[in-house]
Chains A and B, each alone.
Chain A
Amino acid sequence: MQQVLRLPVSRTEVIDAPDVIRQAEAFRSQRKPSVTPAKFETRGLPLVIRDLRKAFGDNEVLRGVDLEIPAGQFVAIVGQSGCGKSTLLRLIAGLDKPTSGTISFGDAEARAEDIRVMFQEPRLLPWARVLSNVEVGLGRDRKAAGAHERARQALEEVGLAEKRDQWPSVLSGGQKQRVALARALVSGPRLLAFDEPLGALDALTRIAMQRLLERVWADQTFTAILVTHDVAEAVALADRVLVIENGRIAEDITVDLPRPRQRGSAELAALEGSILGQLLGPGPTG
């Protein structure tokens, strides 16, 4: 079932711009004075999933997922706790093997460095400086020339260039997640999967991080798959929201609102309400 919600847009200017965003924007404008690339110029990997099933013993978690994600799309996955969102993500990232079904990345051959995952926890190495933590993300290119420079650039991208020589233990929760984001970005992935990466952050940091994610995605044009508990976050960021229920994709909602989207706008709220209604089951209004 595919349903398209096209809603009018009133005002879309950014009402607050935390330091992170300002720095990052300044950096971006100085590096890329040209306009943002058009959608068809994406480097992202397309994703095709056919009749994907995954069972843990008797517990059949995914019961036939069919999904096509065009290259460069930003997809959010929502669903009740335990419905198999993380499982689906782990299968896509190759951390687990499916019971049956196929996952393919268009006709291109995906390298390990092309697909990256960001977890709910930052998972930084406490004994490595921030910069070497980012270098971990280069995979086999770690020893190649220019590894340092690439890591430094990724750090700059998330607005943490000045923290390069710090230990992770002195960073705040949001800063740690930004380092983890830089580590995921540094190899120039073509598909980035996020498993509730902002779940542990406070509301303000969360919004700043969401903006950062959106900007980085627009900048680097990878395919993004974001698992989240937060429907507001899903509609604010994604081109498309998938609702998982009973091991299948129950709803596939296209969010056709221009970016940057204004948080708290009536359109977003309406969309969020309708998706929440789906998640919570048939309410009094049907």
Chain B
Amino acid sequence: MSLIESLPKVRKLTVPKADGLLPWLVPLAILLIWQAASVAGLVSPRVLPAPSDVARAGWKLLWSGELGRNIWVSFWRASIGFLIGGSIGFAFGLANGLSQLSSKLTDTTLQMIRNVPHLALIPLVILWFGIDESAKLFLVALGVFFPVYLNTLHGIRTVDPQLIEMGRVYGMTDGELFRRVIFPGALPSIFVGLRFALGIMWLTLIVAETIAASSGLGYMAMQAREFMQIDVVVLSILIYALLGKVADSASRLLERLTLSWHPAFSKH
């Protein structure tokens, strides 16, 4: 009994703060091995430049302001596209989850559109919008729409009917029922959609920027390929990974803040 009680304390003493660093151990190790392999000449710099070369290229681009500008442009496109597609998806999810009529009217159509890979529309989108900003925003919004829509709908449809009955019995109005029962009940599923959508957002944007853009990270990578600057190409890829991680962390933080009631998210 006393031994078991003392266990958590012991663990806390021996590994202080290590939990936060642990996830970065593997990326760091990869980086070190990569650097060592490059220095030892095991990897040709034409195939894969050393991390130090990539860092140098990044430093140069940062000083020229080019890197900051490109990241900002991509970030801006991603957020606006996400906001547009996400809100439309959320609105349709709510409407179709709450109203039979709305669901009958639009769900079949949406499911049909969903089965078209949105990146297949790139040629059409270029014809419509040229390589204008709106082309990229349209594609990102379209890609983000479906995961948000599907998961919002699913979340609302699977709210415990017993809780809804309880809310009715206790005299909640439709608005209160939505605010206090249906929306919080659907939130975990909505977050799943959000995280899917974030992944799709980057994917779509990078593909769109690689094919049709004159700025942004994808464009930077394409330019570098033309000039055989492999260090910049690798740099872009690393920045994608980092940005993806940032977006994911942000959504996790939001999840933790709003789902603190959920046993799976409660801090111990």
Chain A residues near B (Cβ < 8 Å): 93, 95, 112-113, 116-117, 119, 121, 123, 125-128, 136-137, 139-140, 167-169, 183
Contact = CB atoms under 8 A, between A and B. Distances in A.
Given A167-B261, A169-B263, A125 B170 contact: no
Interface in B157-210: 162-163, 165-167, 169-172, 180-181, 184-185, 187
Nearest to B259: A127
B184 A127 contact: yes
A14 B260 CA distance: 42
Interface in B218-268: 259-263, 266
Contacts of B259: 127
Contact of B166 (A123, A127, A139, A140): A123
A139 B170 contact: yes
B163 A140 contact: no
Given A112-B171, A167-B266, A125 B163 contact: yes
Nearest to A129: B261
Interface of B: 162-163, 165-167, 169-172, 180-181, 184-185, 187, 259-263, 266
A126 B262 contact: yes
A125 B184 contact: yes
B180 A125 contact: yes
A185 B144 CA distance: 46
B138 to A, nearest CB: 36
Contacts of A113: 171
Contact of A136 (B170, B260, B261): B170
Nearest to B163: A123
Shortest Cβ-Cβ A-B pairs, 5 listed = A139-B171, A127-B184, A123-B166, A127-B261, A167-B261
A123 B162 contact: yes
Interface centre among B165, B169, B180, B181 (most CB of A within 10 A): B169
Given A123-B162, A125-B163, A167-B261, A93 B169 contact: yes
Nearest to A115: B169
Contacts of B162: 119, 121, 123
Given A113-B171, A140-B171, A95 B165 contact: yes
A164 B203 CA distance: 46
A128 B263 CA distance: 13
17 contacts: A93-B169, A95-B165, A116-B169, A117-B169, A119-B162, A121-B162, A123-B162, A125-B180, A126-B262, A127-B259, A128-B180, A128-B261, A136-B167, A136-B170, A139-B170, A139-B171, A140-B171
Contacts of B170: 136-137, 139, 183
A215 to B, nearest CB: 24
Contacts of A168: 261
A93 B165 CA distance: 12
B268 to A, nearest CB: 11
B180 to A, nearest CB: 7
A183 to B, nearest CB: 8
B162 to A, nearest CB: 5
Nearest to A167: B261
